[in-house]
Amino acid sequence: MVGRPWLCSTDPASRTTPEDPVPMTDVLLFHHALGLTDGVRAFADELRRAGHAVTTPDLFDGMTFDSLDAGVVHAEQIGFEVIADRGAACADVLPERLAVVGFSLGVLPAQKLAQTRNGVVAAVLCHSAIPLSVFGDGWPDGVDLQLHFSEEDPWAADDLDAAGELVAASGGELFRYPGSGHLVADPSTGDYEPEAAAQILSRTLALLDRVG
């Protein structure tokens, strides 16, 4: 782990497997710009309860923020490319066959892995999307894709073209939810929308079931 403090700082429960010794799917889940919040951990726990092994790396080395503005400033100081590379490196210690989930900022490493790493079978990108050309020339065959956006989310408005491009290239699914909240699936934030969060979780589990 030398030179990778973000892996060393992963919370102790970051890859908890269910009692079944053979989990359905290995999942690498990346947090948003507020950091590895209790809400992100809670979403990961729901995936674990369904039988999946979930890793939740802390790309901020223990730091969390009360506002997206502050979290984005911190991410800018680290560098978005560095964050994408840090997250992608986390996959090195996991099984080759992998699903990736990213919330907002976490879409950077999740989408990079989906487009560049052999063995990724599914990607769930929430609240953000990166233009297809950033990580390659196209979407790989055999990688299922879901995207989740609030309809009036100002943070994600500039990402909708990229989301449409990804869906067209992958044959994936784009789900839109009423409202303007950004981190709607995180119950530890003011953006939390229980109905949208439940649908995102249900649809994510359905995708994992299909690829599992």
Tell me, what's the pLDDT at 175?
Answer: 98
Q: How far is CA 50 from the centre of its chain?
A: 17
Residue numbers in the chain where pLDDT is lower than 50 = 1-13
Task: Give the whole-angstrom CA distance, residue 107 versus residue 159.
Answer: 11
